[in-house]
Structure 1
Amino acid sequence: MRVAITGAARGIGFATAKALRDKGAAVVIGDVDEEAVRSAAAELGVTGLRLDVTDRASFQNFLAGSGDYDVLINNAGIMPIGPVLEESEADARRCFDINVHGVMTGTKLALEKFVPAGRGHIVNVASVAGVLPTPGLALYNGSKAAVVAFTEAVRLEVRRHGVHVGAVLPSFTNTELVAGTRSPRGQRNCEPEEIAAAVLSLLARPRPQVVVPARLSPQIRAMPLVPQRVKDLLNRRLGLDTLFLEFDPRARKSYDERIRS
């Protein structure tokens, strides 16, 4: 198995690359941060290439440099947070350019290779935020909801060609994305290695969607049937109504500067 992973210099992408490498896969990682991806590749003993997922030519070069890959993991993403009226137009466009259009571009480029071959696997890293809207997370919610819907539509379209497409939906995970925030009451954050394990599980047994942690999956499936007043009560009890509105901007400063650079 030869795997190309986007946004893999850190966090979930890095953990996934390590897990796949440990399973004997040939791994190629890409990231817009050229210095970071070179360092990560050297640490992992894999190939690292600069990749800007918002640039189609850059994505094409990354995939060409990945050789005869049979798996693409679209992991690159950013998470701006805060009141929607305080989110800039630049943040909104950048969030969708990376989180949505980057996934779409990668998926389509991989399908150009996979569909004629009658094989291949695409995993799009979405988020529980794509199915559970949360105050202070509007841009990210919207972008990940798009990824969830896009992935399922593509899966239905190409499955007859022998190509597998699926999504992994992590909950709160200990990466830079949640810097300066707190965990929902009574819950612990996932570790990147848990998301990596879910990706490997999806590759081993293809299915439409995997939620991490798995215990949230029944709750998410049931949510459309839950009255809105009950949803609002649950959000308040878990602290989700204020979690992304009341955060430490100093703790997020480094991350915010990096995703906007």
Structure 2
Amino acid sequence: MTSSVAGKVVAITGGARGIGLAIATALHSSGAKVAIGDVDEAGAKSAGDRLGLPLARKLDVTDRPSFTEFLDTVEDQLGPLDVVVNNAGLISVGSAVEEDDEATRRLFDVNVHGVILGTKLAAQRMLPRRRGHVINIGSLGSVLPTEGIATYCATKHAVLGYTDAVRMENRGSGVHFTVIMPTLTNTDMVAGVGHAKGFKNAEPEDVARAVVEVIGKPEPRVAIPRSLGATVWAQRLMPMGLAEALGRALGTGRVFTSDLKREQHDVYTRRTGLS
């Protein structure tokens, strides 16, 4: 597994903490040349210093000049890009109809427009070379609507649809496009969130391992855990009423609503400015 990523040049967005930091750690320890970008410049530089990464800098994924400069710097300092991981993302928890309009716009700007921009800028570099891999971090929310996070689910549905369409457009090009779809993952994004019956949260390291593996053996879609992915796809084949009844029985609808410990989650919303 190490040999499949050793020496590859990898750029990761949202790399200062959580899933992005775990991906950076796993790839760096496997011998990849890793660069991280994050809107939190101090956080990115601190993470880069701790890991000994060759490049860590500020990145606003919603801004084309910022993203272009980031990727230019990566290629100038580390070499042609082999992999771009579009990981930066936000979540807003609460009533869909009461959600602040600015929060809705920010989620789409970061989760959708940021992924689209990162995919385009990466592919424009990779396609002429006929090699490369764009990995977009989606969610099981990409296929499973969940109460309390309607806008987040909408953005992750968009990530899945966009990535699949781009992959189909560029079939046979030598460039791979993958969506990683984790279940709830233990980061500050889900602080205070409840648990559905029989479901266990993933760890950031679980997502990182999947990214390392998919670089070595590309796949279009990877659910984390894979077993839960199979369950979700089976649920989608059920009649809608039955599938929703199953979700209620498992308590998935309460995870982000009545079971939410708002005071714990507010630490995240204040940090991200979504409160």
TM-score band by shorter chain is over 0.9
How far did residue 177 of structure 1 move?
1.1
Measure the CA separation in 2 of the matches of 1:195 and 1:6: 15
Measure the CA separation in 2 of the matches of 1:87 and 1:256: 13
Matched, 1:50 2:58: yes
Measure the CA separation in 1 of the matches of 2:237 and 2:82: 38
How far did residue 76 of structure 1 move?
0.3
Matched, 1:116 2:116: no
How far did residue 223 of structure 1 move?
2.7
| Match runs of 1:43-82 below 5 Å | 43-46=50-53, 47-67=55-75, 68-82=80-94
Measure the CA separation in 1 of the matches of 2:164 and 2:95: 29
Structure 1 unaligned residues grouped into runs of 5+: none
Q: Which secondary structure state, in structure 2, belongs to the residue aligned with residue 159 of structure 1? A: coil
Q: Which residue of 2 is the match for residue 252 of structure 1? A: 265
Q: Which secondary structure state, in structure 1, belongs to the residue aligned with residue 97 of structure 2? A: helix
Q: Residues 115-150 of structure 1: CA distance to partner in whole angstroms, max 9, x if unpaired?
A: 111111000000000100011110000000000000
* Mean Cα deviation higher: 92-101 or 210-219: 210-219
CA contact (8 A) 2:141 2:157 kept: yes
* 2:153 counterpart (123, 132, 141): 141
Question: Aligned pair count?
Answer: 261
| Match runs of 1:182-197 below 5 Å | 182-197=194-209
Q: Which residue of 2 is the match for residue 237 of structure 1? A: 249
Matched, 1:36 2:29: no
* Mean Cα deviation higher: 213-222 or 121-130: 213-222
Matched, 1:11 2:18: yes
Q: Which residue of 1 is the match for residue 184 of structure 2? A: 172
Q: Which residue of 1 is the match for residue 116 of structure 2? A: 104
CA contact (8 A) 1:172 1:183 kept: no
How far did residue 235 of structure 1 move?
1.1
Measure the CA separation in 2 of the matches of 1:253 and 1:72: 31
Measure the CA separation in 2 of the matches of 1:204 and 1:195: 15
Structure 2 unaligned residues grouped into runs of 5+: 1-7
How far did residue 102 of structure 1 move?
0.1
How far did residue 221 of structure 1 move?
2.4
| Match runs of 1:144-159 below 5 Å | 144-159=156-171
Identity among equivalent pairs (%): 44
How far did residue 260 of structure 1 move?
2.1
Measure the CA separation in 1 of the matches of 2:235 and 2:193: 24
Measure the CA separation in 2 of the matches of 1:196 and 1:212: 10
How far did residue 113 of structure 1 move?
0.4
CA contact (8 A) 1:6 1:30 kept: yes
RMSD: 1.1
Q: Which secondary structure state, in structure 2, belongs to the residue aligned with residue 49 of structure 1? A: strand
* Mean Cα deviation higher: 235-244 or 134-143: 235-244
